[in-house]
Structure formats: structure tokens, C-alpha cells
Structure 1
Amino acid sequence: MVRCIEYHNQILGFVDRLNDCFSTAMFGHLAITSTICGCIAKQFVVGVNRLCAAIHFSGWIVALFVACLGGQLLLDANYTVSNAIWSSIWYKADVKLRKDLLFMLVRSQREFHLTVGSFGVLSFALFVNVC
């Protein structure tokens, strides 16, 4: 159980570092993706090389989906932490471990998420809003 607590603390640090490093980059990626998809859609409507435009458009949408999938998996994993704590036999552990588990339980009520600048949280909801 102690390893789980240490692992949880490492994940918290990892998410914070990830947000610090990639929030601005993901914002740029999302802005560029929407601009490029708009240009490709215009190319598709005008009728210039529609097959290439459709393939290019699909590639950008898949890239955006993969990024949003990673963010959604992180959100989903956060919800399983509190359920795993409650389903364990935490009340039979020693006092120090119970205190640590209580900290984890309280912390797991706040979601881990990857931000995308001012667009919000990287998730399936963001993917649907962009598409």
C-alpha cells in the first residue's frame, strides 16, 4: 500500500510538470489544427484534389483525437483512485498508512488534467467542441 501512495505522489508531480511543459504547446497545436482544418475544408469544398484534402484532414483529426485520448485516459484514471481506496481494507491498516490514504482520497477528489492554454482541459469534450 505504501508503494501505491508513493506512486500516486509521483503521478501528481508528473501531471504538474506535464502541464508546465506542454500547456502552451498544446494550445498552439489546437490553434494550428483548427486553422489547417478550416483551410483543408475550403480546399475540399472548392474541389481541388478532394482525395488529398480528405486524407490530410483525416490525419489532423486523428492527431487531435490521440492528444485528447491521452487527456481523457488521465481523467478516467483519476476517478478510479478513490474507488480503489474505498474498496480496499484501509481501515485495518496502521494509523500512518490510514492518514496517507485519507490524503490520497481527498486529493483524488480534484481531477488530474492536462490543460490546453485557455481552451480548457484536454479530453473528449474538447475534441467534440473543436470538431
Structure 2
Amino acid sequence: MRNSGTNVTEDISIIFGASGGGIVSLLFTLKYKNWSNFFKDLVDTRQYTRPRNLQARATRLNHLGKICFFCAWWVTITYAIAAWFSSKGCQDTNDPGKFGEICPTFIPIWLPFGTNDVAAAQSFLAECFVMYESTEIFICHISELKSQLKETLDAPFSVETRDKLRLCVDYHVYILNLGYRLSSLIKYTAGHMSLLSALVCGCVANQMLNTKPMGSLFFLAAWLFALFCFCHSGQRIKDKTLSIADAIWNTKWYKADVKTLKDVQFILLRCQKPICFEALPMGVTDYAFYFMMIKTGYSFFALFRQSL
């Protein structure tokens, strides 16, 4: 490939990136009922108290979603314009007897068969934002639980206080069940993207120094932002589930009677293991995982610079 002057890193990034994004879309479709039931339970406040900051958080997330949608279209259009300007160079270097690169497409790519219209749809950004939005709404329930625990344990002891604490215990179990459902859905819907993100970022970074620098820059920024939303959500849910124990510690729990303290111990035991978003085949998505992906992507980038 080095001698032919043809750079195939764009093809590699599209093959793995578009395939991974397509699989995510397919899995979202297959698990549509699971996601739909989860969203209904997430915003259902008939059984327990409605989180106080739920409406404000939902409004803010709606605005962020509109901005994310606009940026996704802007990046797509920018990349398409860059591909159109480079189509002439693609045809000049194209040799049907060797590579047979398809030029008049959204993204010039090598295929073993001829075609006139090939488009790769990248949906990773939108789906990562859905995960981020679900996590933020879920955190509203955790914040409400912490407020109820503080009000209950700081109040003078009474039979009513014990009943409120038991309601908090039930609410905590309900929140944990929601968290484990969300973790399972994300794992089997988008967990495999952790295998592809580093390779895609390395390919796009190499492409940025060879062809379509501006289009590749926006594409790389969008992919890194999507990956950050994924890892940021995992870090947030892990930290917030652990923070419930800290909220109890900062109350006047020591003034409660023995029976009430047993309920407090039950909550503390359930808080020892945080809820995490798993990345396939191993690991959890958090800030450390995000920087590991960037480091691995740079390793792929250095490899491509030496070999292609």
C-alpha cells in the first residue's frame, strides 16, 4: 500500500466504525421493548416520590440533545463536502485492475464489487447520548434518595421515622434494580464498541494527516465525544451509587435505635458494590477506560504511520 500511494486507513475506519455502529443500531432495535419498558419505569413516579430536580434535568438534557443532533449533522455534512472535493484525486489514483476504489460515493472506499451509491451511517454519537441521558435521569433518583435519607435520619426518632426509613430501603432496592437493568442493556447493546473505538480513532488520525484533514478532524472529534459520553456516564453512575453511603454517614444515624440501625446497615451493605457499565470483553467504562482508549488509539496511529 505504501508503494501504490493509496491510503487504506479510511477504509479500515469505515469498515469497523460503520459495522460497529450498524450492530449497535441493530441491537437497539432488537432490544426495543426492553429499552422502552426501562424508560417507562425510569420516569414512573407513582410508586415513590418524584425527584425534585427531575423536570429541570430533563429540560437541560433536551436542549443538549438538540445541540448534539445539530452537531452530528454538521459533522456529517462537513465530512461529505471534504469527500466530494477529494473525489477527483481518488479517480486519478484509482486503478480498477488493482484496488477498484469506488469514488463517487459519500466516502470513497474499496469494495470487491462495483456500485454507485454506498453510504455508511454513523449512529454511535446519538446512541451514546441516549445512554448519557438515561444515566442522568437515573442519578435524579439517587439524589432524591439521599435527600430522603438525610431528612429521615436527622429527624427525632419516632415510629413514623422508622416507617420512612423502610420506605427509603424499598426505594433504594428499586433504584438498584433500575441501575442493573440499565447496565445490562448498555452492555449487550454498545459494550462491543470498546473493541473498535481505539482502532477507528487511530485510522482517522492517520487519515487526517494524509487526506481530508478537516473532515477527518471533525469525524475524530465526534467519535471521541461519543466515547466520552459513554465513559462519563459509566463514571457518573459508579460515583453516585457509592455516594449513598457517604450521604448516610453525614447524617445523625448514631441517634437511632437498634432496629433502625439494622435498616441503615442493610443500605450500607448494598452500597459497597457500585453499579458499573461493562465494556466487552472486559473492564468497565470510566475515565480511566477513556484515556486507555486514547492511548491505544495513538498506538494504532503510530503503527499506521510506519507501515502504510
* Partner amino acid, structure 1, of 2:213: R
* Partner amino acid, structure 2, of 1:71: G
* Partner amino acid, structure 2, of 1:61: L
SS in structure 2 at match of 1:79: helix
Alignment partner of 1:100 is 2:100: no
Alignment partner of 1:73 is 2:231: no
1 or 2 for the larger relative contact order (CA 8 Å, sep ≥6)? 1
CA contact under 8 A between 1:27 and 1:119: conserved in structure 2? no
> C-alpha deviations, 1:30-85, integer Å up to 9, x for none?
22322321221221132x11011011000000000011111111111123211111
| Residue of structure 1 equivalent to 2:170 | 6
Instruction: Pick which of 9-18 and 59-68 moved more.
Output: 9-18
Q: Which runs of 5+ in 1 are unaligned?
A: none
| Residue of structure 2 equivalent to 1:61 | 224
Q: Which runs of 5+ in 2 are unaligned?
A: 1-148, 150-164, 295-308
Q: How large is the Cα RMSD of the aligned pairs?
A: 1.8
CA contact under 8 A between 2:201 and 2:220: conserved in structure 1? yes
Alignment partner of 1:50 is 2:219: no
CA contact under 8 A between 1:24 and 1:116: conserved in structure 2? no
C-alpha separation in 2, matches of 1:117 and 1:11: 24
Deviation of 1:94 after TM superposition, in Å, equals 4.6
Higher helix share goes to which structure?
A: 1
| Residue of structure 2 equivalent to 1:32 | 196
- TM-score when normalising by structure 1: 0.86
Equivalent of 1:18 in 182, 185, 189? 182
| Residue of structure 1 equivalent to 2:137 | none
C-alpha separation in 1, matches of 2:258 and 2:193: 47
C-alpha separation in 1, matches of 2:292 and 2:168: 35
Deviation of 1:95 after TM superposition, in Å, equals 4.2
> C-alpha deviations, 1:3-46, integer Å up to 9, x for none?
43233212211121122222132322222322321221221132
* Partner amino acid, structure 2, of 1:78: T
Equivalent of 1:119 in 279, 282, 303? 282
Count of residue correspondences: 130
Larger Rg: 2
C-alpha separation in 1, matches of 2:193 and 2:221: 16
Instruction: Pick which of 32-41 and 103-112 moved more.
Output: 32-41
Instruction: Pick which of 29-38 and 119-128 moved more.
Output: 29-38
Compared with structure 1, are the counterparts of its residues 114 and 96 closer, same or farther at alpha carbon in structure 2 (3 Å cutoff)? farther
* Partner amino acid, structure 2, of 1:123: D
C-alpha separation in 2, matches of 1:39 and 1:26: 20
Deviation of 1:118 after TM superposition, in Å, equals 2.2
Instruction: Pick which of 119-128 and 53-62 moved more.
Output: 119-128
CA contact under 8 A between 2:169 and 2:267: conserved in structure 1? yes
Paired-residue identity, %: 30
